[in-house]
Structure 1
Amino acid sequence: MIVTRQELEAREAQTLAPYAMRNSASRGRRYPESPHPYRLDFQRDRDRIIHTTAFRRLEYKTQVFVYSEGDHYRNRLTHSIEVAQIGRTLARTLGCNEDLTEAICLAHDLGHPPFGHVGEETLHRLMAEHGGFDHQRQTYRILTEIERRYPDHPGLNLTYETLEGVVKHDTDYDVVDARDYHPEERGTLECQLSNLADEIAYNTSDLDDGLRSGILDPEQVKSLAIARRTLDSLGLGLDADLRSDLVRYRFIRRLIGIEVSNVIAATSRKLEEFAIGSVEDVRKAAENMACYSPALAAENQELKQYLFQHFYRHHRVVRMAVKATRTLTQLFEAYINEPRQLPDEIQRRAASSAEGLHRVVCDYLAGMTDRYAIQEYRRLYDIEVRA
């Protein structure tokens, strides 16, 4: 038996919630394409994202720890996979479109430069007089311009809804610029769930990595309301040993479960409260439908503040950040001062691009992995390293 596109669309009509985004209702692609005989559009979007160079490079891009700190910490690729896993669970349970949710989740960090948020801050400073730098806008440019996979158009030619989900990605670390995607409209529920999946993933994984690394004090962690809630649900008291791998695994696993279950319950209640019965209802709503309960939202805020003070500002993390800033700054200056040090392909782009040398160099740096940026720094500044 072969399941055709028409049958898959019929299944969506029967199984998805009325407020879910259906493939058949998509606003389409910028460049028209013939429909695939057995793959729906959002599935094709997801697959195109997975096959990009930018997606593969995420393996060696920093989440919090530079790759050389160890093999067991999250990187941008493992983070994106965790976000997609959480997003699919949320979407499936709430009757939303899993393929669209997963596509947005997998794409959301493609524009991150090497060295995480400090890399972004550094490039934004270096590009202050040339339009700045923002990883979310860079993600959009990767999807629509920079990735070249087709002979007749730039970018991946993704659907409106996937690109909308990227530009309307809204967390504490994102700047929303939806000027070409009806900024007066809210994102689809799939888009909103992707935002919360990202937040759940980075809060829980950073807590896990902070404990694993020894940077976070387990006793301080246990003083957090969300930690007490999690330990209580496991039947463990405040004497639980979060230094033990097995205890920590149980703790983080249950914490993710609590967060996901809370979002499902709170979002379901809100959908009923606002009588949401269509995608248009979601778009026109006065506020986002995807949410936590007020109690858990407050506990998550306490967790974020704790991680900011005790993890992201820890001297080990700050030292890495200072090194990263120096590396990117000196690479940028070297290329700008002598563009002939750039690879031939990048030189040709700089010569033919209307965007100018600074933007081309910024794109080149933003596309680097941590590993490649460090190697390139050594090639340029260590006379004993072969160029």
Structure 2
Amino acid sequence: MNWEQLLSLKRDGDTHKRLRKEQDETRLGFEVDYDRIIFSSAFRSLQDKTQVIPLSKTDFVHTRLTHSLEVSVVGRSLGRIAGKRILEKHPYLKEMHGYQFNDFGAIVAAAALAHDIGNPPFGHSGEKAIGEYFKNGSGQQFRSNLTEKEYQDLVDFEGNANGYKLMAESREGVSGGLRLSYATLGAFMKYPKESLPKKPTNHIADKKFGFFQSDKSSFQSIAKDLGLLQRGSGEAVSYCRHPLTYLVEAADDICYTIIDFEDGINLGLISEDFALEYLIKLVKDTINTKKYNALAYKEDRLSYLRALAINTLINDAVRVFMENEDKILNGMFSVSLLDKSMYTAQIDDIIALSVEKVYQSQEVIEKEIAGYKIISDILDVYTDALVREKNSDASNYNKLMLRTLPEFYRRTNVSLYQILLNTCCYVASLSDGAAILLHKKIKGIEI
């Protein structure tokens, strides 16, 4: 893979090549990507999707929105620092083509901003709840009418694939969705493969999948334009990651490692003394002890250590990226950047404590259970109504329910797979609060 091709400014529908030297520096193409994402309705819904504690209304807890904004800030720093190093190593990118280090920061920031845009309500349990409906719930009835890969898309419903769909899918009169640059869409794609074969290797890019069957040809076109190397064999569609994806992933890893931990402290699930000790181990080489000891309040001590920890991990992630740039460009780097960090032991300790005290807390478990029931019931009502309408067998109740759907999701003149996938994507678009309210209305609890 080569950087000039990977930094493509091309957008869906372009008939000519967009050259970096011809870009308006006051509103660079990659920065337009950021703007389009942040003004999208899908991004706005993240304000009511909780990052750690599902349904939590606690002021301390990060939502998917605040988490995404923080990841984009960290991603911008990662991209700029790495971009500066890349241009020093490959000066022709600046001298011949006009690329600047800020371009790398803008691409990573935009992709990082969108990294959770396709996630359903109720955290990662929302993805599992959708999949469970088709694997063990009423959705099993559709299996015989779907191809193996179509069914796998549903039983392993993936927020990353839904995110790509939201940003790149064409609709009537709207070609290419948000029409983001191919560089940003490539950097967004953490798992550039289809749902089957499932986890064919231990490579980080094979951990999950990144696009549904309905979007396969769309992504293949983008991958070809970016020059992504093919990894799949036979009919399996799989590509090497865009190199900047590693920085997007690192930004997310850094934020959830440090900030989910911080949420646990603020919620009282992790004791302050214990937590601060873990963070101090991470920043022991850069901490200003005199400055730290002068901080009288917990919030200030935590804020100082958080900033120091994030900065420490940013610099270390860039070190790993640059040391392995050749491997990354050749598709030979098979783990995340933090897996090669010199702080792996400290990161693992922090994550283990977060898992024990936060992710497996009673509050999280109880509310994830509620999320399973809510999502299953909503899917039941809408899949039944849509399939019956397709078969000209809809009841009056079915027809009433269809009128509550946005017009795009009411379409039944498409395949069964498309109907089921669209229904899943509609449920995934709901915020936590909207899903709860809709469930109450379906159950007749609230009118």
Normalised to the residue count of structure 2, the TM-score between the two structures is: 0.70
Q: Tell me which residue corresponds to 2:391.
A: none
Worse-matched range after superposition: 349-358 or 80-89: 349-358
SS at match of 1:108: coil
Aligned partner of 2:167 among 143, 163, 174: 143
Aligned partner of 1:352 among 393, 402, 413: 413
What do the CA deviations read for 1:303-325 (whole angstroms, capped 9, x no partner)? 22221222100111111111111
> In the aligned structure 1, how far is the partner of 2:300 from the partner of 2:382?
48
Q: Tell me which residue corresponds to 2:268.
A: 214
Question: Aligned Cα RMSD in Å?
Answer: 3.4
What do the CA deviations read for 1:145-204 (whole angstroms, capped 9, x no partner)? 27x5x8252412323222222223597996244773344364344221111001001111
How far is the alpha carbon of 1:23 from its aligned partner? Answer: 8.4
Where has structure 1 moved over 6 Å in runs of 4 or more? 170-174, 236-243
The residue type paired with residue 159 of structure 1 is S
Q: Answer yes or no: is 1:28 the counterpart of 2:36.
A: no
Worse-matched range after superposition: 247-256 or 66-75: 66-75
Contact 2:189 2:245 survives alignment (8 Å): no
> In the aligned structure 2, how far is the partner of 1:210 from the partner of 1:44?
35
Q: 1:282 to 1:231 in 2, by over 3 A?
A: closer
SS at match of 1:352: coil
Q: Answer yes or no: is 1:256 the counterpart of 2:317.
A: no
Q: Tell me which residue corresponds to 2:186.
A: 164
Q: Tell me which residue corresponds to 1:291.
A: 337
Q: Which stretches in structure 1 are left out of the alignment for 5+ residues?
A: 1-18
What do the CA deviations read for 1:307-344 (whole angstroms, capped 9, x no partner)? 12221001111111111111111222222344431325
What do the CA deviations read for 1:332-364 (whole angstroms, capped 9, x no partner)? 222234443132544863322323442232111
Q: Tell me which residue corresponds to 1:72.
A: 60
Contact 1:122 1:329 survives alignment (8 Å): yes
How far is the alpha carbon of 1:70 from its aligned partner? Answer: 1.6
Q: Answer yes or no: is 1:300 the counterpart of 2:347.
A: yes
Q: Tell me which residue corresponds to 1:5.
A: none
Contact 1:21 1:190 survives alignment (8 Å): no
Q: Answer yes or no: is 1:114 the counterpart of 2:136.
A: no
Q: Answer yes or no: is 1:89 the counterpart of 2:74.
A: no
SS at match of 1:45: helix
Q: 1:356 to 1:330 in 2, by over 3 A?
A: same
Worse-matched range after superposition: 362-371 or 351-360: 351-360
Identity among equivalent positions (%) equals: 22
Worse-matched range after superposition: 72-81 or 159-168: 159-168
> In the aligned structure 1, how far is the partner of 2:52 from the partner of 2:181?
31
> In the aligned structure 2, how far is the partner of 1:229 from the partner of 1:237?
17
Contact 2:258 2:310 survives alignment (8 Å): yes
Q: Answer yes or no: is 1:315 the counterpart of 2:322.
A: no
> In the aligned structure 2, how far is the partner of 1:58 from the partner of 1:193?
22
The residue type paired with residue 368 of structure 1 is L
Q: Tell me which residue corresponds to 1:4.
A: none
Equivalent residue pairs, number: 356
Q: Answer yes or no: is 1:190 the counterpart of 2:244.
A: yes
Q: 1:227 to 1:157 in 2, by over 3 A?
A: same
SS at match of 1:69: coil
> In the aligned structure 2, how far is the partner of 1:80 from the partner of 1:89?
14
Aligned partner of 2:437 among 362, 375, 384: 375
SS at match of 2:120: coil
> In the aligned structure 2, how far is the partner of 1:208 from the partner of 1:121?
25
> In the aligned structure 1, how far is the partner of 2:38 from the partner of 2:441?
31
